[in-house]
Amino acid sequence: PLKNTLDWLSRPAFASPLRDKPVTSFGATPGPGNPGRALAQVNAYYAAVAAAALPWPTLAVGRVGEVLDDTGALDAKIARRLSAQLEAFVHWIDAVATYREARSTA
């Protein structure tokens, strides 16, 4: 479903609705692997549609079940990393808006 959604969002060519839009991604997997490769593929997609992907920080969590407590809340370390990414994303949104404004007046 995600791939189909991304394919639909890539149309029309060179005028994607994601063009110059700030985006970020994070991933989690129940297994011992790291979702980093999947995130890299999503980031390559963002580049292809000219979305403004937050370059850093990113969050990729393996064995996600081990970082959740009985209520489903994240452990403190992962919660801090997620919070840092979301805080950076807020600043990224502002930076992209400044860029888009400067580009539109040039």
Residue-wise pLDDT tens digits, 27-51? 999 998 889 888 998 998 899 888 9
The tokens of 101 are what? Answer: 């404004």
Cis peptide leading into 12, omega within 30 of 0? yes
- The mean pLDDT of 68-84, rounded to a whole number, is 90
Has residue 106 got a pLDDT over 80?
no
Stated as kind and residue range, the H or E segment containing 53 is: strand 52-53
Q: Is the C-alpha dihedral spanning 73, 77, 79, 81 positive or negative?
A: negative
Strand partners, 86: none
CA-CA distance, 96 to 51, in Å (whole number)? 10
pTM, two decimals, is: 0.84
- The mean pLDDT of 1-29, rounded to a whole number, is 87
